[in-house]
Amino acid sequence: MPSARSTTLDANTVRRRNLAAVLDLVHRRRGVTRADLTRALGLNRSTIGDLVTVLVDHQWVDERDDQRRAGVGRPSPLVVTRDRWLVAAVNPELDVIDIGLVSLGGDIVERSRTVVDRPTPAEVVAITARVIGDLAARRPEARVLGTGVAVPGLVRREDGCVRLAPRLGWRDEPLGAMLNAQLGMPVEVANDAHLGARAELTFGAGRGAASLLYLNGGASGIGGGIVVDGRAVTGSAGYAGEIGHLSVDPQGERCACGARGCLETVVRRDALAAAVGLEHPDDDTLDAALQAAVAAGSATVQDALREQLGWLAIALRSAVNLLNPEHIVLGGHLAALWRALSADQREAALADALAVSASAARLDVAELGSTRLLIGAAELAWDRLITDPTEVPLDAVRS
């Protein structure tokens, strides 16, 4: 017969898991009614009411009673996220360090981009600490509880060590430990493309997809994220998805990784930016500039688009034939490239893939635009916090 102590522990564990399940659903759906929580989680109304009350008391969520009536009786209250608790999100790139504060529901409430050429890990740590402090000062009513970092390289997830970021010139850099020591808060680090895939699967173009291939284009190159049957495919050591290092031109230039003719050597963000006369543009600015140049009939931009599409099509053909994805999502400069193409050019992109595989693949651009990597990085920090929403100290709740 179980002891009273073990029964209490089990009850506490179940309650914590239920709180986490409610908060996770509110987070991912960016608001949900009590009735929908009851249906989705299989708990009774009184239990849901009790769990929501705890989350309100700990300032994670609020309730709204302004829902439109859809039948007899009182409408079910809508449970929505608050921005009392925030996480920091960091994306160091070849030319900028992008930093934001992110609330539950994946909303970026503050953001700053610092231009810096090939930042070292020490520079990333120093700039991150300063900028997070500055951004947090704009939100005195909130508190930053953790940090997630999206790195354009191969990351060992268990300790946040960047094993290799070729274009940044990093090798075996303990970025997670360095940031943790400087910031004094939990820090999680992962590959940027994996996090972009997660963000789009949760909040963006990939919502509802069972299988997804996400391609991320940035100043440091091209990465990929793979989802099969709703689960991320990371490989035996966590480094899967490096589609930017597929060889598309064996006689081409030497890549930063040491090989020749990698996709990221020929489908380059800096080349697209140069074609429209920009330096260090964010993704949204590059996107708008390319479309404006196409509308104006720029032959230079059309040539750049045509050349880069040719190389990208080779990589897409290989990926589609290998993975047979339901959904392909392009982010960063790849999204800007795609949106600037004509309908005929887009149609030709998968023309050489196996027809039975290509016909099943839908190809879209990232819905989250230039925010996708910060939102994905924030998910790393939210993972730990959502697991136990009552972990926030009560003195912090009351302050």
Predicted confidence (pLDDT) at residue 281 exceeds the cutoff of 90:
no
Q: How many CB atoms lie within 10 A of CB 347?
A: 10
pLDDT recorded at residue 393? 56
pLDDT at 85: 97
Would the pLDDT of 1 be above 70?
A: no
Give me the chain's average pLDDT, please: 92
Region 156-169: mean pLDDT is 94
Q: Would you state the pLDDT for residue 280? A: 83
DSSP structure class, residue 262: B
Rg (CA), the chain: 23
Structure tokens at 314: 């080779």
pLDDT band per the 50, 70, 90 thresholds, residue 396: low
For residue 192, the 8-state DSSP code is H
CB 136 within 8 A of CB 84: no
CATH architecture of 85-194+373-398: 2-Layer Sandwich (3.30)
Residue 75 has a pLDDT of 72
Question: 354 or 395: whose pLDDT is higher?
Answer: 354
Average pLDDT of span 372-378: 98
DSSP 89: E
Q: What tokens does 88 get?
A: 């920091």
Alpha-carbon distance 163 to 145, whole Å? 26
192 or 236: whose pLDDT is higher?
Answer: 192
| Interval 9-28 mean pLDDT | 92
Give the pLDDT confidence score for residue 171 in this predicted structure: 97
pLDDT at 327 exceeding the cut of 90? yes
Which of 336, 276, 265 has the alpha carbon at shortest distance from 300?
A: 276
pTM of the model: 0.91
Which pLDDT score, from 0 to 100, does residue 5 have?
A: 54
Residue 349's CB: how many other CB atoms inside 10 A?
Answer: 20
Note whether 4-81 and 85-194+373-398 share their fold: no
Domain ranges of the chain: 4-81, 85-194+373-398, 205-367
pLDDT at 324: 93
Q: Is the model's pLDDT at 107 over the cut of 60?
A: yes
Question: What are 107's strand-pairing partners?
Answer: 103
- Give percent of the chain with pLDDT exceeding 90: 86
Compute φ and ψ for 164, nearest 5 degrees.
-160, 125
Q: Give me the long-range contacts of 247-250 (CB less than 8 A, separation at least 24).
A: 248/311, 248/314, 248/315, 249/311
Kindly provide the residue ranges of all beta strands, DSSP E only, lying in the chain, ordered along the sequence: 32-33, 61-64, 78-81, 85-92, 96-103, 107-115, 143-151, 154-156, 161-165, 170-173, 187-191, 212-218, 221-228, 231-233, 327-332, 362-365
Pick the CATH number of 205-367 from 2.60.40.420, 3.30.420.40, 3.40.50.410, 3.50.50.60: 3.30.420.40
Q: Per-residue pLDDT for 8 more than 70? A: no
Confidence of residue 44 (pLDDT cuts 50, 70, 90): very high
CATH code of domain 4-81: 1.10.10.10
